[in-house]
């Protein structure tokens, strides 16, 4: 990844303060056996000097198991957006500190960037995980080696030593989806918190896409990221309703991004990093006709989504719908803009 100035890198943000402990947290800690790790050979509880950042909103269904897979980390931090369910007491029961985030009218900074700048982190290294993602024992051990300085990376993929790409497996309809363009899925999730910030894409204010960075990617100030060997698991969509609900918001973001012309700091390159290649492909395909149909053909045939059986077929069809809705919402925005000018 190209080294760039970090967004708002010169801005000084006052340190945030965690939420007071919820009255139900102690009871829930006993109820959920908060010191029990999942099966497998894990580093000892609290033994790895890494700070974990988990952005959430109404994640009571996922937060316990997410944090159970992170008990080996010595700092667990939840960044919440005024959850209305039991997310806060459950997170505190599992040993996490909870901070509240409020998105400004300008829509910037979003949740992860605010946390990176505002939370008084105990450790140099930060690991960013979503509530519907699980770290495996093998990945936990690899992260332990990185943050303790004992990791021996592949020399060809070592990077600067300040950040690492992590590969994600999508579990959809009970199955690991390997095709359709969903694997490999590289993201920078482990980095020294002072050297990384998420890019800003566009300047459209509230795009109805939520307050958390989803399509934005980490920009580093010190050099390229290396690559970890082990994967983590993404249980993103417990049912099709949740997929449609999330991607309805994401298509609004896509439309606003196309309308504002914002491409972010990470520029597309065919032979660049995983994200740069993804950006190049998206920029190129936006100019092509019949995008929804081509998206299905690309995922189902070219990227061999058909090998994933019915789940592969469903998700490739859904991604074609995603392309259609993005285009339709973009044209809707342009139509409303013309109406305002003519009024």
- CA quadruple 315, 321, 324, 325: dihedral positive or negative? negative
Domain end, chosen from 206, 238, 270, is at 238
Contacts of 191 (CB under 8 A, 6+ apart): 125, 126, 162, 163, 164, 218, 220, 225
Same domain, 60 and 201: yes
Same domain, 215 and 327: no
Q: Which residue has the tokens 């993103």?
A: 236
Q: Are 202 and 216 in contact (CB under 8 A)?
A: no
Q: Is residue 329 domain-resident?
A: yes
Q: Is residue 152 domain-resident?
A: yes
Count other C-beta atoms under 10 Å from residue 124's C-beta: 15
Q: Is residue 160 domain-resident?
A: yes
Same domain, 215 and 318: no
Same domain, 271 and 198: no
Same domain, 200 and 267: no
Same domain, 89 and 166: yes
Judge if pTM exceeds 0.85.
yes
Question: What total of structural domains would you count in the chain?
Answer: 2
Same domain, 131 and 224: yes
Q: Is residue 20 domain-resident?
A: no
Same domain, 172 and 98: yes
Same domain, 79 and 193: yes
Quote the pLDDT of residue 10: 37
Domain end, chosen from 205, 238, 271, is at 238
CA distances (Å), 224 to each of 77, 127, 173, 218, 264, in order? Answer: 26, 17, 35, 11, 17
**What is the phi/psi pair of residue 232, to 5°?**
-120, 165
Residues 49-81 as b or e (16 or more Cβ within 10 Å = b): ebbbbbbbbbbbebbbbbbbbbbbbbbbbbbbb
Q: Is residue 198 domain-resident?
A: yes
Contacts of 225 (CB under 8 A, 6+ apart): 1, 159, 160, 162, 163, 164, 165, 188, 191, 218, 273
Q: Is residue 60 domain-resident?
A: yes
Q: How far apart are CA 149 and CA 145, in angstroms?
A: 6
Q: Are 258 and 287 in contact (CB under 8 A)?
A: no
- CA quadruple 197, 202, 205, 207: dihedral positive or negative? negative
Quote the pLDDT of residue 275: 62
Same domain, 151 and 46: yes
Q: What is the pLDDT along the chain (343 residues), one digit of tens a residue?
A: 444 445 444 344 567 999 999 999 999 999 999 999 999 999 999 999 999 999 999 999 999 999 999 999 999 999 999 999 999 999 999 999 999 999 988 888 999 999 999 999 999 999 999 999 999 999 999 999 999 999 999 999 999 999 999 999 999 999 999 999 999 999 999 999 999 999 887 665 555 667 888 778 899 999 999 999 999 999 989 999 999 998 998 898 888 877 766 555 566 666 677 766 666 666 666 667 789 999 999 999 999 999 999 999 999 999 999 999 999 998 999 999 899 888 7
Same domain, 269 and 148: no
Same domain, 131 and 198: yes
Domain end, chosen from 208, 238, 268, is at 238
Q: Is residue 113 domain-resident?
A: yes
| Structural domain harbouring 278 | 260-342
Q: Which residue has the tokens 């019949």?
A: 290
Quote the pLDDT of residue 68: 98
Q: 3-state DSSP call for residue 263?
A: coil
CA distances (Å), 320 to each of 55, 265, 290, 300, in order? Answer: 28, 27, 10, 10
Q: Is residue 5 domain-resident?
A: no
């Amino acid at each position: 990844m190209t080294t760039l100035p970090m967004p708002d890198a010169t801005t000084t943000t006052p340190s945030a303060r965690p939420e007071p402990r919820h009255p139900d947290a102690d009871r829930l800690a006993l109820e959920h056996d908060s010191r029990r790790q999942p099966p497998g050979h894990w580093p000892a509880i609290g033994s790895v000097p890494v700070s974990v950042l988990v952005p959430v909103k109404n994640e009571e269904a996922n937060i316990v198991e997410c944090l159970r897979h992170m008990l080996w980390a010595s700092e667990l931090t939840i960044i919440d957006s005024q959850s209305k369910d039991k997310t806060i007491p459950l997170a505190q029961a599992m040993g996490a500190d909870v901070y509240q985030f409020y998105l400004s009218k300008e829509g910037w900074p979003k949740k992860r960037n605010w946390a990176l700048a505002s939370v008084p982190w105990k450790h140099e290294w930060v690991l960013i995980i979503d509530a519907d993602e699980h770290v495996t024992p093998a990945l936990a051990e690899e992260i332990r080696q990185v943050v303790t300085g004992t990791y021996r990376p592949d020399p060809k993929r070592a990077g600067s030593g300040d950040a690492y790409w992590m590969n994600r497996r999508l579990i959809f309809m009970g199955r690991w989806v390997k095709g359709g363009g969903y694997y490999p899925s590289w993201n920078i999730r482990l980095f020294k918190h002072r050297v990384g910030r998420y890019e800003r894409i566009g300047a459209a204010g509230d795009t109805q896409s939520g307050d958390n960075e989803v399509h934005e990617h980490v920009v580093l100030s010190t050099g390229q990221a290396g690559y970890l060997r082990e994967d983590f698991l993404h249980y993103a969509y417990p049912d099709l309703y949740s997929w449609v609900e999330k991607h309805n918001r994401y298509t609004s973001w896509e439309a606003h991004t196309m309308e504002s012309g914002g491409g972010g700091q990470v520029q597309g390159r065919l032979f660049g990093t995983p994200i740069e290649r993804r950006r190049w492909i998206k920029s190129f395909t936006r100019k092509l006709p019949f995008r929804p149909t081509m998206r299905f053909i690309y995922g189902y045939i070219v990227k061999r989504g058909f090998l994933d059986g019915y789940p592969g077929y469903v998700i490739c069809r859904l991604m074609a719908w995603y392309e259609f809705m993005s285009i339709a919402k973009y044209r809707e925005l342009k139509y409303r803009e013309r109406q305002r000018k003519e009024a």
